């Protein structure tokens, strides 16, 4: 049933009022609770009147006096409380359209839900929202939110997103920012489509809304081997990726002078593909765009340089690091630094080529268990294997399972059994890599 309570916090208002697991929240102050956003807004007052349906169908009316913004102390079975809104777009670069058949059903679900943008940091296009939805964001002060912009050119955005309502993005962004909503923007850059001068204009348009639009993250389009009968897309190479960085750098210099912030940042892929120098940590200003792959390499390098001082020198052990093609050189350099500091360690680095999606996919976050198994089964590996946590599935999943599951539905436990190795999961920023090595090495 909708709004079903899954947990009650000890010592909370809910426990004191007799609310139990399995009870259902019917209303707050006479208002239907459609989702978690409604709940958070309606429950904030110092006095609330709620209706609860008990397990035996009794309806309780509870009057509660509390501190302003104090929560009841309940968790619901679903954060959204109803089904997430599916996407009505048909973007030319959509990664879900490039998935092979036969994968888990939920992986094919396209969400474009403003509530997930608020709760989980998902990006939304705003094309599937009514004026009432926009007003609700403003009324409830749902901020910050993440918006997929791609271009501010109305005709081009309609073409890229394949939605006739996609062209008014700039007006919507202006309305939201003028009403105090903070926005982080994302651009998926497609060669020959929205890059070059189109990219420059889009960034300049968004900068006019600063500081309401707080920042812009730019990622390159991902192209798998399953693009049959889809819009023809190219990939970035050393020259074309370098050109986009040059455009961005011209704008960044101007914005840093004016605001102290570069405002727009390109993901690490552009730097690694173009072989251009990765900026220092100051450029990333707190790494707020890590989920877009912006600054991960710099943070990884800095974490290794800092944490290596804590490497235990009287320990020995053997490890194999797994990574994708793109980050291989950085992971190899990190392994070499660690072994140079403590020669008693044996560390191998295995580059997993993405045969599942195609070798055009080079990021570690899309590595599948199938590829790991095929490429490691006949290889000599260390006593322990270390993999980055970004390889595991994320997003809207109705399953209550807490298992770490790869994109191809293999669990971490299954992979350990197949490879007959203990596998440790490392934060993708490398902050706990030295700790994992220390805790799983033996005294010499």
Show me where the domains of the chain are located: 5-76, 96-294, 301-443
Whether 397 has a pLDDT exceeding 60, the answer reads: no
pLDDT tens digits, 103-140: 666 555 555 544 554 544 577 888 877 888 888 888 88
Nearest in space to 323 (alpha carbons), one of 379, 418, 387, 273: 387
Whether 396 has a pLDDT exceeding 90, the answer reads: no
Q: How far apart (Å, rounded) are the C-alpha atoms in residues 363 and 431?
A: 19
Whether 350 has a pLDDT exceeding 50, the answer reads: yes
Classify 145 in phi/psi space as left (phi over 0), alpha (psi -120 to 50) or beta.
beta
Q: Which two tokens stand for residue 75?
A: 């968790």
pLDDT of residue 70: 84
Going 164 to 167 to 173 to 178, the CA torsion angle's sign is: negative
Mean pLDDT of 91-104: 79
Strand order in 123-124's β-sheet? 123-124, 145-148, 183-189, 213-220, 264-266
Whole-angstrom CA distances from 420 to 78, 406, 423 are 36, 17, 9
How would residue 230 be classed by pLDDT, with cut points 50, 70 and 90?
A: confident
Whether 69 has a pLDDT exceeding 50, the answer reads: yes
Across 363-372, 393-402, 411-420, least confident range: 393-402
Whether 342 has a pLDDT exceeding 80, the answer reads: yes
How would residue 74 be classed by pLDDT, with cut points 50, 70 and 90?
A: confident
Q: Which two tokens stand for residue 32?
A: 């239907």
pLDDT tens digits, 150-206: 999 999 999 999 999 899 999 999 999 999 999 999 999 999 999 999 999 999 999
Across 76-85, 181-190, 210-219, 389-398, least confident range: 76-85
Whether 408 has a pLDDT exceeding 80, the answer reads: yes
Q: Which two tokens stand for residue 242?
A: 């370098």
pLDDT of residue 394: 60
pLDDT of residue 401: 42
Whole-angstrom CA distances from 104 to 99, 154, 238, 407 are 11, 35, 35, 8
Mean pLDDT of 205-232: 94
Across 46-50, 338-342, 399-403, least confident range: 399-403
pLDDT of residue 104: 63
- More confident: 14 or 121: 14
- Which listed CATH number (2.40.10.10, 1.10.150.120, 3.30.930.10, 2.30.42.60) goes with 5-76? 2.30.42.60
- Cα–chain center distance at 36: 20
Whole-angstrom CA distances from 137 to 129, 206, 257 are 10, 20, 33
Residue 3 half-sphere exposure toward CB, CA atoms < 13 A: 19
- Cα–chain center distance at 129: 22
Whether 81 has a pLDDT exceeding 50, the answer reads: no
User: For the chain, how far is it from start to end, CA to CA, in angstroms?
Assistant: 58
Across 116-130, 206-220, 227-241, 398-412, least confident range: 116-130
- More confident: 353 or 7: 353
Q: Are 83 and 111 in contact (CB under 8 A)?
A: no
- More confident: 96 or 408: 408
Q: Are 270 and 241 in contact (CB under 8 A)?
A: yes
pLDDT of residue 87: 67
- More confident: 135 or 82: 135
Nearest 5 degrees, angle CA 236-CA 238-CA 242? 85
> What are phi and psi for residue 389, nearest 5 degrees?
-65, -15
Going 397 to 291 to 143 to 179, the CA torsion angle's sign is: negative
Rg of the chain over Cα atoms, rounded to whole angstroms, equals 24
Burial string for 279-310 (b: 16+ CB within 10 Å, else e) reads beeeebeeebbbbbbbbbbbbbbbbbeebbee
How would residue 377 be classed by pLDDT, with cut points 50, 70 and 90?
A: confident
Whether 273 has a pLDDT exceeding 50, the answer reads: yes
Classify 295 in phi/psi space as left (phi over 0), alpha (psi -120 to 50) or beta.
left
Mean pLDDT of 341-358: 96
Mean pLDDT of 315-322: 96
Three-class DSSP category at 13: helix
* CATH, range 96-294: 3.80.30.10
How would residue 291 be classed by pLDDT, with cut points 50, 70 and 90?
A: confident
pLDDT of residue 352: 97
Whether 246 has a pLDDT exceeding 70, the answer reads: yes
pLDDT of residue 134: 87
| Fold of domain 301-443 | Rossmann fold (3.40.50)
Q: Mean of the per-residue pLDDT values for the chain? A: 88
């Amino acid at each position: 049933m909708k709004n079903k309570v899954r947990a009650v916090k000890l010592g909370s208002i809910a426990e004191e009022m007799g609310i139990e697991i399995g009870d259902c929240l019917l209303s707050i102050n006479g208002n239907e609770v459609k989702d978690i956003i409604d709940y958070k807004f309606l429950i904030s007052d110092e006095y609330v009147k709620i209706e609860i349906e008990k397990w035996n169908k009794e309806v309780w009316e509870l009057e509660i006096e509390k501190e302003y913004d104090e929560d009841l102390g309940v968790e619901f079975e679903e954060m959204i409380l109803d089904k997430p809104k599916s996407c009505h777009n048909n973007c030319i670069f959509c990664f879900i359209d490039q998935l092979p058949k036969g994968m888990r059903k939920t992986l094919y679900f396209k969400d474009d839900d403003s509530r997930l943008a608020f709760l989980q940091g998902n990006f939304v296009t705003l094309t599937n929202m009514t004026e009432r939805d926009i007003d609700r964001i403003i009324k409830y002060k749902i901020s910050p939110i993440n918006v997929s912009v791609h271009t501010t050119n109305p005709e081009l955005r309609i073409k890229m997103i394949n939605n006739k309502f996609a062209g008014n993005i700039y007006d919507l962004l202006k309305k939201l920012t003028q009403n105090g909503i903070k926005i982080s923007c994302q651009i998926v850059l497609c060669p020959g489509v929205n890059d070059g001068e189109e990219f420059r204009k889009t960034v300049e348009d968004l900068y006019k809304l600063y500081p309401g639009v707080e920042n812009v993250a730019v990622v390159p389009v991902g192209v798998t081997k399953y693009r049959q009968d889809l819009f023809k897309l190219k990939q970035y190479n050393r020259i074309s990726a370098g050109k986009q960085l040059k455009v961005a750098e011209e704008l960044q210099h101007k914005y840093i002078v004016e605001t102290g912030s570069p405002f727009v940042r390109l993901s690490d892929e552009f730097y690694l593909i173009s072989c251009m120098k990765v900026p220092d940590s100051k450029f990333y200003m707190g790494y707020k765009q890590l989920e877009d792959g912006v600054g991960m390499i710099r943070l990884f390098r800095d974490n290794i340089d800092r944490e290596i001082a804590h490497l235990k020198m009287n320990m020995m052990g053997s490890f194999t690091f797994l990574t994708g093609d793109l980050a291989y050189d950085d992971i190899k350099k990190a392994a070499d630094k660690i072994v140079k500091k403590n020669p008693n360690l044996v560390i191998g680095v295995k580059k997993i080529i993405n045969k599942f999606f195609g070798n055009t996919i080079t990021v570690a976050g899309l590595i599948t268990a199938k590829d790991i198994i095929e490429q490691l089964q006949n290889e000599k590996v260390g006593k322990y294997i270390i993999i980055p946590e970004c390889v595991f599935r994320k997003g809207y999943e109705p399953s209550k399972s807490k298992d770490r599951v790869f994109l191809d539905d293999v669990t971490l436990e299954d992979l350990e059994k197949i490879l007959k190795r203990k596998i440790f999961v490392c934060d993708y920023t490398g902050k706990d890599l030295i700790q994992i090595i220390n805790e799983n090495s033996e005294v010499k």
